[in-house]
Structure 1
Amino acid sequence: MIRYALHRYANTASRTQWRPAALQAVVDALAEHDVQSFDDPVVAMLTERSGRWSAERRVWLDLAPVVRAATVTPEASRAAGWFDPAIVGAGPFPGSQGQENRRKEWNLTAVTQPWLRDLLWDYLHDEALQPVGRKGSANTIFNRIVGIVLLSRILRHIRADRGEDPGQLTNADARAVKDMWDLWFREQIPIPRRVDASENDWAPLNHRNRHVYMANMRIVLRHSREHRRTPPSMDSFILGLPQYPRPHESPRPRPLTYADFQMLVSAESVATLSDMDDDDVGLADIWLTQAFQGGRISETLKLRLGCVGLIGAAQPYIWRDISKVDLIDYGMPGEWQPWETVLGSLSAELDELGLLEEAQNLDLRAPVHDYFQPIFATGWPVSHLYRTDDDNEAPDDTSTD
């Protein structure tokens, strides 16, 4: 069983890497408890016992699903209250930018009414089989599930039968749902916003998720109604669920006035930032590159010296990855100010490496890395170059980009 699970997992795209010691600990625990199937409740107990951030927990969470998808039928997973797109022959739900996600099981057991949990499972089944481009993202699916989990919680409060009979739900119950929803929002009562959230992770509704979660309740129930999965007597309940306006949000990123931007990149501001850079790691270089080029700050921090060059005699360019839209090594025209600041701040380090004269006599028609190949061959980031010692020994990280 374990060998088969490892084989299946090794052939899973975008899988995490396990540490041998963690895998051995999991195998030992399975042998100690004489576990013969990953459907054994002991597996769930051992998973819960593992530390939240332990390496073993990652193995527990990844190993069982790959086996269950090959041995459990869709009907069995529906009855058990979990959904895996692989069960119905589909791939994982994509990321918000369309990127491929790791495989994941979706836990639906927080929906205590069997009929409501089945409607949610059927919705996920239909959504998983949508063609590429129309399939909902993992974040969308998460919001659908949380919305139905909260509806299940409300039905347990407002109905004497705890919402077990869908045929008894009417427009009056829809109004009761609205009253409870408004009470949670008005009194800022903490509610679970994840299926497995402990009470320490509960949080009150805000304007945005009040709209989002209620809209997702309506979407799932209306989808079920359109596919004739709900009794006709329930129509008044589904159509009577409240709607909340989408809150007005400030633009992101919030724009600066041109005057404010000029102040932030002025020579005085850059000099002040440099003076505050006690460790001399190049904060001014980082700030100017980010201010003029934009992008994710993590990508700016990882830039290497060889990413900067000149096109022609006067146009600085920077080559960087824009991972959000899957652009790798993308050339962007830049500004003179970051270019000049980077070269100026490196003068002392270039002098130590014997390259200052070449930098001062730079031929503007050629890329800068032709002149500083001894640096770029090591692939050092700027922050590492600042920390070279008097003997010019290379830092430990000499991987190339």
Structure 2
Amino acid sequence: MAAETTDTTRLELRITRMAHGGEGIGTDPDGRVVFVAGALPGDTVAATITKAKKRWARADLLEVVEASPMRVPYACPAAAAGAGCCDFSHINPASQLDLKLDVLRGQLTALAGRSGALDGIDVDAIATQSLEPRSWWRTRVRLGVDAQGRAGVRRARSADVIASEACTQPVPGLTDGLIGEARFTPGSEVVAVMDSGTTRHVVETSRVQRGRRVEDIRTVLEGSGEVTERVHGAEFAFPATAFWQAHRAAPEAYADVIADWGAGEYSRDDAWDLYGGVGAFAPAIHAAAGARVHSVDYSPAATARTQPAFAEIPVEVHRGRVELSVDTLPAPGLVVLDPPRAGAGEAVVQAVAAAGPERVIHIGCDPATLSRDLAAWAASGYAARRILLIDAFPATHHFETIVELSPR
């Protein structure tokens, strides 16, 4: 393991590009790559090194010496106060999509390009779609609670809670009266959801390790705690803590892509919906392939009940981890998978590919793990046919990528 050092020397850096994760990248006088949170391409900044290795370093932004043309005042008060919510809200909205495209191209080229997964794909011509609205779009939010019982957004790269400022992501009314005003159990988390019927549900849960999702509702504070959502009229009901896409336009936008890209004649009568959650994409998969849909997810909250949306279409719900379930399912014609941020991983990709699907639609919310998954698909005999970047997280560095694959 390389030795790690800390250097508090003030540096002046010219930022040339954006890194995956939303940090600006500059180069110090020794040629070492330096990542600076809050810095933008075109900025000249003063920064202090906080972590240093032989080939790269991470630094805190001290001052913007010369501002990038794309820099604007923070649009989100919480982000301006240091929260990690809207880390792109100081970037001109017209520039945000281009930055995300550059990140996606870089990750695809570096991690999947040599595998053959992108043969026939022009990474400079990737299609894009931006979801509206660009603010007040988030229908569910998870707030931290500090030692005084105040709820708020977490500080960037920290468990600390900012209870003084509201974020501009939540739909109108979602966090009214919650941030900094009400009192909750110190150390807990507060989940607030505005469902399709515009009913607000507020529940208190225990806090879990970062990156993991808690599903147990400790206390229902408002509403029933049981959410109703609709995708093109298909109804889904589930606990407020179960997964659902954050942007209010995302479920239908993704379902439309699946219905379009997945449409065709298949030699098999079954299709797979992997990491399916409550099965939001199952109706679109059935419409595209005319097949029985097997929806797989490990979440008890998501899979505990038969959804109203499945009343007239053949859907079988399987509760279990994808890597342990695919070998038990009938061979599919169409596979749709929407893994978590960590990606599907080589073992899952190999297992799905071994079943020989005629078409795969892979949805990725992290460009690095998606690119590694695409390399695994290439090693298993599949190649990308088209790629779509969906900007479903405005004013943040996050985005979604949908890839269609088929056997070479």
TM class by shorter chain equals under 0.3
Structure with higher helix content: 1
Higher relative contact order (CA 8 A, sep 6+): 2
Indicate the structure (1 or 2) with the bigger Cα radius of gyration. 1
